[in-house]
Each structure stands twice: as structure tokens, then as C-alpha cells.
Amino acid sequence: METTTVEQQVEQNQELRVLLEILIQTCRDGGIGFRDAAKAIHDPQLQGLLDRYAVRRMSFVGELQLEAKHQGMDMDAAGNLPGTLHKGWLNLNAAMTSGDEAAILLECEHAEDAAVEEYVKAMQRDLAPSLLRLLGSQCNQIEEVREQIHKLRLTCQRQADGKEGLALESQNPPATD
């Protein structure tokens, strides 16, 4: 039977802590990125959708922190790495300045790709089953959002010439008077 030394356990705990800090930071950056993107979008329905994505991503932070507590770690301040910004959101400011909604959505799409990449790397590690389930669920949700953003971006690009509003029927039911 294989036993782990105290040193190995400390190293494993430190690696898990770093992994969770990265994922928490990724989710915080996603929440901030979606919120900022929503502010730069003119279509009210799309603004609302991006705001909901921001809120959901911030709820991922709480879920990760709670799971960390179950693993014996206090991660309440984790992910507040000063001066860091998830690589996927770095180009959002330039897209927002342009006012091009398709470009903003493209940067959101790129950021979701980067988030999925972080989650996939994390899930390749030897982790507790409860943490793996949580990461799998969050990763699936991020992939779904990424796919929705991709479709919205394509729709936005097609409608840009006609200056039509962005159709979000699949995400929001029609309003009734």
C-alpha cells in the first residue's frame, strides 16, 4: 500500500490551493468581463444576457470557495491576485472602445475558450470526486455559454449591415403585455 509523506501531502495541498486560486480568479475575471461587456453593448436584451452570465460566473466563485472549505482550505480571499487578468479578457477593452458588438462578443467567446482550457487542465489532475463533479458541471456551463455567445456573434455580424436588433428569442421568452 502506498503511503504519502507529510511533505507530499503538504505539496499536494499547495498544488490544490494554487489550482483553486487560478479557477477562482478565472471565474472572477469572467464575471467582471461579462459585466463590462454588458455595459458596452447597446442591445438591452443582450445586455441582460451578459449580466446574467456575469452573475452566474460570480456564483461559481462561491461554489469553488465552498468546495475548498470541504477540502479543508479557507479560500475566501483566493482569486484576488493583484494585477492579474485572465488572458481571455485582455482584449475586451479594445473591442469595447470600438463599440462593435460582434467584436465584443468575439472577445467574450475567446475568454470562454480560455476558461474552458483552465478547467480542462484542472480536471486532468487527481482530485476529490466532489471537486471533479463541480468542475465538470461548471465547465459544461461555460461551454454552453461559449456556444450561445458564438451563435449570437454570428447573428450580430449578419445583422450589422441591416442595423437590426439582435434577436435573442432562444435565450429569452417573448414579453407579453
27 in Cβ contact with 64 (< 8 Å): yes
3-state SS, residue 94: helix
Task: Tally the domains of the chain.
Answer: 1
Is 158 exposed, middle or buried, given 0-12, 13-18 or 19+ CB atoms closer than 10 A? exposed
pLDDT at 169 over 90: no
The whole-model pTM stands at 0.80
Per the structure, the complete domain to which residue 82 belongs is given by 9-159
- Domain membership flag for residue 173: no
Residue 146 counted as domain residue = yes
Structure confidence by residue, pLDDT tens digits, 56-92: 999 999 999 999 888 888 876 554 554 445 555 555 5
CATH number for position 96: 1.20.1260.10
Give the cell for residue 90: 485582455
